[in-house]
Structure 1
Amino acid sequence: MKECTTKRTTVELVLTGLVLLSVVRQFFLGSYHNMFLGILTLILFMAPQFIEKTVGVTIPTGLKTVILIFIFSAEILGEINAFYIKIPLWDTMLHTTNGFLMAAIGFALIDLFNRSERFSVKMSPYFVAFVAFCFSMTVGVVWEFFEFTMDWFFYTDMQKDWILPTISSVKLDPAGGNHPIKVAVESVVINGEEWNLGGYLDIGIVDTMKDLMVNFLGAVVFSVIGIVYLKQRGKGRLASSLIPQVNEKWEKGEKNHE
């Protein structure tokens, strides 16, 4: 256990140090927006500790490390260093991880009540995992709502555009029927100017659906791990390192007011 604590502390110190260096660098570059993102990252780094104190769970080292790396990858690497643009699969990887993490949080919340002596109803491992899955997907959908809102009102392009070489639409049916016609698109005309994009510009739809699909995948993976964990509670290093543990005082029906 001591070895795991050392690793956890090392990861936190290294990532925090990198974020501080990024904040200082952005300050001297005059990029105050990115400097704010760095400060926000430091605040988000405190989220695991906040959850442990307010929800009544203990986040294991493995999951806490994933959370910190996820935050660092999304804000410092993704936003400030433009990894979302430089690495095509960066956004997909993070949305998959997000689905995994949100399922973990949902799992911890429902398992907290499931194990408390104050509640007489006990749920099966499959139902707990299903609720965790639904929680993850709900968070994923709400996030896509947020991205759409930011793009619609502030033109941020959080829902990244895709270039699609073909379209299929019943609107192109020369007979006016309900038969979709497939058409290859090589260029588009925007405000009278032709752009040779190799396809048409999809405004966010593909990105949104892709994000929800990989969120689904991450949620399913964690839900399966959660089922195994509940059926064999306390066994298996992988599950134990990723499943939030319910605080003993919550298990006895006593909320910790420290």
Structure 2
Amino acid sequence: MIKNRKKIHTVPLKEQIQNHKGLFVVYVLLRASVILTLVAQAFNRDWESVFFCVLALFLMTIPSFIENNWHIDIPDTLEIIVIVFIYAAEILGELRAYYINVPFWDTMLHTTTGFLAAAVGFSLCDIFNRNENIKFNLSPFFLAFVAFCFSMTVGVLWEFFEFSMDFFTGSDMQKDTIVHAIHTTMLDPTKSNRVVHIIGITDVILSDGTSLGLGGYLDIGIIDTMKDLFVNFIGAVVFSFIGYFYVKSRGEGRFARRFIPTMKFDELKEAEEKVAKKKEKKK
């Protein structure tokens, strides 16, 4: 493995822009929007919003950092999806309250998360599969299966994080859902594990007589959690199928290549040779 991971090929900025015009336009527009939002929120002294803007700017640099330092080629299509996802989650979702005001916004993002996490898991295994220095060989089916499992694990860990934040800090990351029925053994007066059904709930009234006007009962997170995991499952399955046929066709499919990062083996080999030469000179 290479200890010195400095970038090998320095491509002029103008050439990079010409080769990746779509990515460049999306990156500049979204980054400029985040910076303008950051300045506006700083003037308003809304430091929480400033934090989300700084976080978004930082996250947007990660794909290019990975490409330049780890010899991994991230397709433009995948990189655009990642950048738009970050903007949609941090700026539109948190700052513009799209999570509350736009139906299925959270669902769409969790589906995308499942897709992207599967892409990461698949790419890691695929890179190991192609590396001659690592004894690691999985069939197309198992590559897709590992990608699926990786994505679902990421989804579960994220739900653990949301629950922990809500439990320990009093936040509301696990969004509430209005339901009209309760099915529980907690209200069974006989304590015999019999399910009690309360159906047709139209409102919640506090002990002081205040009506919340919810139109039903407030479920505090379990439906949101299961919905998030289900759409994560859908995203993971979709990418796993894409990855399976990508390996099956030995990387010839144009569509699949748009979403799968690959190792820059030429750069990697050149870097290894340079490191070897430096060691010989020291001797």
Deviation at 1:36, TM superposition (A): 1.5
Provide the residue aligned with 2:13 in structure 1.
none
Deviation at 1:169, TM superposition (A): 2.3
**Residue 237 of structure 1: which of 250, 254, 261 is its match?**
254
3-state secondary structure, aligned to 1:183:
strand
Letter of the structure 2 residue corresponding to residue 77 of structure 1: L
C-alpha deviations, 1:51-91, integer Å up to 9, x for none?
A: 22454421100000000000000001000110001112000
Q: Is the 8 A contact 2:71 2:268 kept in 1?
A: no
Instruction: Say if 1:121 and 1:75 are closer, same or farther in 2 by CA, change over 3 A.
Output: closer
Q: Is the 8 A contact 1:112 1:250 kept in 2?
A: no
Distance in 2 of aligned mates of 1:133 and 1:215: 10
Instruction: Say if 1:255 and 1:167 are closer, same or farther in 2 by CA, change over 3 A.
Output: farther
3-state secondary structure, aligned to 1:158:
coil
Q: Do residues 69 (structure 1) and 84 (structure 2) align? A: yes
Distance in 2 of aligned mates of 1:255 and 1:132: 29
Larger Rg: 2
Deviation at 1:132, TM superposition (A): 1.0
Q: Do residues 207 (structure 1) and 224 (structure 2) align? A: yes
Q: Is the 8 A contact 2:17 2:24 kept in 1?
A: no
C-alpha deviations, 1:28-56, integer Å up to 9, x for none?
A: 22212101211111000011122224544
Deviation at 1:244, TM superposition (A): 0.9
Q: Is the 8 A contact 2:112 2:235 kept in 1?
A: yes
Deviation at 1:246, TM superposition (A): 1.9
Distance in 1 of aligned mates of 2:127 and 2:71: 8
Q: Do residues 125 (structure 1) and 144 (structure 2) align? A: no
Q: Do residues 138 (structure 1) and 176 (structure 2) align? A: no
Task: Provide the alpha-carbon RMSD of the alignment.
Answer: 2.5
Aligned-pair identity in percent equals 48
Aligned counterparts, 1:25-174, within 5 A: 25-172=40-187
Letter of the structure 1 residue corresponding to residue 264 of structure 2: N
Deviation at 1:27, TM superposition (A): 1.4
Deviation at 1:254, TM superposition (A): 6.9
Q: Is the 8 A contact 2:128 2:136 kept in 1?
A: no
Distance in 2 of aligned mates of 1:256 and 1:187: 71
Mark the runs of 5 or more structure 1 residues left unpaired by the alignment. Answer: none
Deviation at 1:227, TM superposition (A): 0.4
Distance in 2 of aligned mates of 1:76 and 1:249: 38
Instruction: Say if 1:169 and 1:44 are closer, same or farther in 2 by CA, change over 3 A.
Output: same
How many residue pairs get aligned? The number is 258
Instruction: Say if 1:256 and 1:44 are closer, same or farther in 2 by CA, change over 3 A.
Output: farther
